[in-house]
Amino acid sequence: MLMIDQLRDGKIKAFAKHRYESSSAEELRAASEGPADKAEMEHWELSEGQWEEAIAAALADHESDE
């Protein structure tokens, strides 16, 4: 989880790790191409930019594992 480990904000890092562990690379690609998930943003108390940053980091780590 090289990209996730580089995240500085604890909330973003925790969400990115959660999504990395609970989502496939395909699911993360789909999430990155669509609108931010408002329910996840509310639950994790993230802005849209923070949500996007976490999804991008989780996806990058999944892709580096492939």
Q: Where are the domains of the chain?
A: 3-65
- What pLDDT score does 29 carry? 97
- pLDDT tens string 5-51: 999 999 999 999 999 999 999 999 999 999 999 999 999 999 999 99
DSSP3 helix / strand / coil % (the chain, rounded to 5): 80, 0, 20
3-state class of 38 per DSSP?
helix
Scanning the structure block, which residue is given the tokens 């973003």?
12
Residues 8 and 6: their CA atoms lie apart, in Å, by 6
State residue 65's pLDDT score. 85
- What is the Cα gyration radius of the chain? 11
Q: Is the CB of residue 18 less than 8 Å from the CB of residue 37?
A: no
